[in-house]
Amino acid sequence: MSAKVIGRRILQILIVLLGISFITFCLIYLAPGDPVTAMYANSGGVPNADVIAQTREELGLNRPFFVQYVSWLNAALHGDLGNSYTMSMPVSQILLSRLWPTVKLALFSIVLMLAFSVPMGMLTAVKKGKAVDYIVRVLTFIGNALPSFWIGLMLMNAFGLKLGILPVMSSDTGIQNLILPAVTLAVSMSAAYTRQVRAAILEEMKQGYVTGGKLRGLRPRVILWRHVFKNALLPLVTLLGLSFGSLMGGTAVVEVIFSYPGLGNLAVKAVTSRDYPLIQGYVLWTALIYMVINLIVDISYEYLDPRTKARRRA
């Protein structure tokens, strides 16, 4: 990918972020309920009208909408997303402290998912129409129709409460605490991804070079791993990047179930207590992470598929 294309993509990311910040800012501006009252309610006090008016003045809430937005944007560009109403700490600092646990959980669950769906997808593609294919298809269908939070609670019941081998509450981020939330996320993602791997491999096996390889007397295993898998990798990496989006949403639900101290759990608390700066910061961060990951995915095409490079030169 040339520098020009990357530059254009980064510009696009900035536009999207600007759009999202504007939408969330509008929504917060229009939201029912006064943020100042909410702020004081959270800290437990009931202020009188003067104090409220003064705080409004201090926070600049009396100024016109666009003035407020521009000054907020200016601060945001300097890394200042304001202070959380409930925790009276800078939003960026809170988010930063919760980022690593969520990234760890997401990466761990992606590894688990890949460990299941890539071999299973390939197996079912090779054994298309055989018993294994049907069994795995039924399993992925079931996984697809079950809510992830239900799977999480059932796993918690089985391994945490009945067998007692894994912690029920994942309040710190050690590997033991990571297993149940990560498995929960991996189960629901694997269901979709196994099907996608299967479809991608089947599509690739239709290609002429597979027949060619067979005619040349190559062993099926060599054809599958050396050629088919390598070629099917491209769509699979794209889908992986996209599934990261649902993962960011999915972690919220799973983090709540297991009381895992990540971004998602934080966001749910922020939403419940109407901590607007925190909600906004979370939304922007997630969007940024998601889009940067997809940019990296697109850049990686270059290395995965030399054809894209050749095509551009031509």
Partner 1 sequence: MKKRSAFIWKHKVFSVLLLLAFLILLIVIFPEILTSKDPNAAVMMDALQAPSRAHPFGTDKLGRDLFARVVYGARTSVPTAFLLVFLIFSIGSFLGIIAGYFGGFIDALIMRIADIMIAFPGLVLAMAIVGILGPNLMNAVLAIAAVSWPKYARLARSLVLKIRQRDYVAAAVLTGSRTGYILRRYMFRLSLPTLIVTAATDIGKMMLEMAALSFLGFGAQPPTPEWGLMLNEGRSYLQIAPWLMIYPGLAMFLVVSVFNLIGDSLRDLLDTAQEE
Binding site residues, partner 1, CB under 8 A: 12-13, 15-16, 19-20, 23-24, 27-28, 31-33, 141-142, 144-150, 153-154, 156-157, 161, 245-250, 252-253, 256-257, 267-268, 270-272, 274, 276, 279-280, 282-283, 286-287, 290-291, 294
% helix / strand / coil in the chain, to the nearest 5?
A: 80, 0, 20
Q: Which CB, 224 or 248, lies closer to partner 1?
A: 248
Q: Which residues contact 272 (CB under 8 A, 6 or more apart)?
A: none
Sign of the torsion formed by the C-alpha atoms of 269, 177, 145 and 115: positive
Helix (H, G, I), strand (E, B) or coil at 83: strand
Sign of the torsion formed by the C-alpha atoms of 24, 30, 33 and 35: positive
Instruction: For residue 310, give both structure tokens.
Output: 């050749």
Task: Output the smallest distance, CB 293 to partner 1, in A.
Answer: 11
Q: Which CB, 12 or 71, lies closer to partner 1?
A: 12
Q: Which CB, 48 or 272, lies closer to partner 1?
A: 272
User: Phi-psi region for residue 82, left (φ > 0), alpha (ψ -120 to 50) or beta?
Assistant: left
Q: Are 268 and 252 in contact (CB under 8 A)?
A: yes
Q: Which CB, 223 or 293, lies closer to partner 1?
A: 293
Q: Which CB, 27 or 96, lies closer to partner 1?
A: 27
Check residue 32 and report its DSSP letter: S
Q: For residue 96, what are the CA distances in angstroms to 102, 263, 270?
A: 11, 9, 15
Task: Output the smallest distance, CB 160 to partner 1, in A.
Answer: 9
Task: Output the smallest distance, CB 12 to partner 1, in A.
Answer: 8
Task: Output the smallest distance, CB 279 to partner 1, in A.
Answer: 5
Q: Please write down the long-range contacts of 77-80, taking CB distance under 8 Å and 24 or more positions apart.
A: none
Q: Which CB, 27 or 75, lies closer to partner 1?
A: 27
| Residue 38 CA to its chain's centroid (Å) | 30
Task: Output the smallest distance, CB 185 to partner 1, in A.
Answer: 13
Task: Output the smallest distance, CB 204 to partner 1, in A.
Answer: 20
Task: Output the smallest distance, CB 206 to partner 1, in A.
Answer: 16
How many whole angstroms separate alpha carbon 161 and alpha carbon 144? Answer: 25
Task: Output the smallest distance, CB 291 to partner 1, in A.
Answer: 6
Indicate the helix (H) or strand (E) that contains 131. helix 131-145
Q: Which CB, 116 or 149, lies closer to partner 1?
A: 149
How many whole angstroms separate alpha carbon 168 and alpha carbon 177? Answer: 8
Q: Which CB, 2 or 144, lies closer to partner 1?
A: 144
